Amino acid sequence: MVFSERMRKASLEKRSRIVLGLDLKPDLPENLMSKALKILDEVCDEICGIKVNLHLIIPLGFNELKEIVDKAHVHNLQAIADLKLNDISATNVVATKILWDIGFDAVICNPFVGFEEGLGPCIQEAHSKDRGIITLTYMSHKGAVEGYGLDVLKGGVSVKMYDLFIERAVEWNVDGMIVGATNPSIIKYVRARVKDIPIFSPGIFVQGGDPREAVRAGSDYLIVARAIIESNNVKVSAREIKNMTW
C-alpha cells in the first residue's frame, strides 16, 4: 500500500485529520525521548500521523528516532520526516535511505531544487519502496510571501512561485503538498488546480491558522504542533481540534 493510501486509511480509522508535529522544546535527549513517547501514547486515538522535524532529528540518534517511529506504527499512525530536503540528488538519496531505514513513511522536500539531479531520483526511490514525498507549496509563516509568493516569469508571463511548485507537484507525481493554514485563499486556489494530491496544512492556531477554514478551503490533513504539545492537556486539545474538523 502506497503512502497516500496508508495516510487516508489511518485518517478514516482514527476519524482525524491531525498530523501531530513533535516540535518539542530543547532538552536532554533522554527527556525528549520520554516526552515524545508519552505524548504519542496520550494522543494516539486523536491523530492520524506524526511529523518529526529538526527539533528531534538533530539531538536524537538513529535508534531513538526508530523507537518513536515504531511507536507511531504500533498506534497505526503514519510518520513523516520534516527535513525540507533541498540538495543535490546524491545527498538527498543518502538522507532518505537513512530515513526509510528508520521507518519513516514520507519526507517533506523543497521543489525549488528541481527534478534532474535534484528530487527526481529521491522521488523514484521513495515510490519503489512505497514511501511518500511531500513538497512545499506555500509555507505558513508571514515571510512565505517573500519566497513562495514571488512573482516570476514563465514563458514571458508573470506567475507566482507557488504556481511553479503546484505544476511540479503534479508533474513529479508527489504524494502531498504543504500549504499553510494561514492562507486559506491559497489552499482553495491549489485545490481548484489539483484534485488528487493531498494537502497538508501547518500553522494551526499559534500562527493564526483556523483549522475549520483550512478544511473548508480544501486541506486534507492539518499539521498541528504547539497548539497541542504545549497545551495543559494534550489529549483534550487534540480531541477538540479533531472533532471540529471531522
Opening angle at CA 200, ends 195 and 203, nearest 5 = 135
3-state SS class at 204: strand
- Closest by CA to 46, choosing from 21, 78, 19, 73, is 19
CA distance 217 to 210: 11
Cell of 208: 493564526
84 a catalytic residue: yes
Q: Are 62 and 31 in contact (CB under 8 A)?
A: no
Q: Are 191 and 138 in contact (CB under 8 A)?
A: no
Active-site residue, from 35, 84, 188, 235: 84
Chain centroid, CA 183 distance in Å: 16
Torsion on CA atoms 236, 32, 37, 110, rounded to nearest 10:
80
- Closest by CA to 178, choosing from 148, 206, 201, is 201
Residues annotated as catalytic are 84
